[in-house]
Amino acid sequence: MSDRSEHFKRKGEPVLCPFCKAAVPRPGALAPLSAASSDAAGGRCGCGALFLFDASGREGGQLLLDGLARLCEGDLTRALALEGGTDYRIDSVGYNPRGHSAEPIRRGGFGRPKLWFFKLGAS
């Protein structure tokens, strides 16, 4: 934990969309997809990518499904039929919600907050 203060002193890097490299806004509250889905925070990039905030860094599976369903306007059947790399791309960026800044994902970075980015299309 000795690197922690160092960590917060550093000026944050802007959070960039991994697909178009544009800076993205701070995640905001999103409407729940269904009664079963949890509250989500995220937003949209100008290129059409969707991003979701994963506060614990441990919600990859659930968030992946949630993100894909949102790309398909809540149509889970369509979301589940999508093929990664062909129908959509997904990427994640380490995120510091205090400073709204990007954090490098280090080895052992499991459990750190992240933003997950989703985009339809292969390129």
Interface positions with Zn ion (CB under 5 A): 17, 19-20, 45, 47, 49
SS3 state of residue 62: helix
In the complex, the smallest distance separating the C-beta of residue 57 from Zn ion, rounded to whole angstroms, is 22
By beta-carbon proximity to Zn ion, the closer residue of 59 and 91 is: 91
At residue 113's C-alpha, the angle toward residues 109 and 116, to 5°, is 100
By beta-carbon proximity to Zn ion, the closer residue of 47 and 81 is: 47
In the complex, the smallest distance separating the C-beta of residue 61 from Zn ion, rounded to whole angstroms, is 23
27-52 core/surface letters (b: 16 or more CB in 10 A; e: else): beebeebeeebeebbbbebeeebbbb
In the complex, the smallest distance separating the C-beta of residue 5 from Zn ion, rounded to whole angstroms, is 33
By beta-carbon proximity to Zn ion, the closer residue of 78 and 89 is: 89
Is residue 20 within 8 Å of 45, Cβ to Cβ? yes
d(CA 2, CA 8): 12
In the complex, the smallest distance separating the C-beta of residue 62 from Zn ion, rounded to whole angstroms, is 23
By beta-carbon proximity to Zn ion, the closer residue of 76 and 120 is: 120
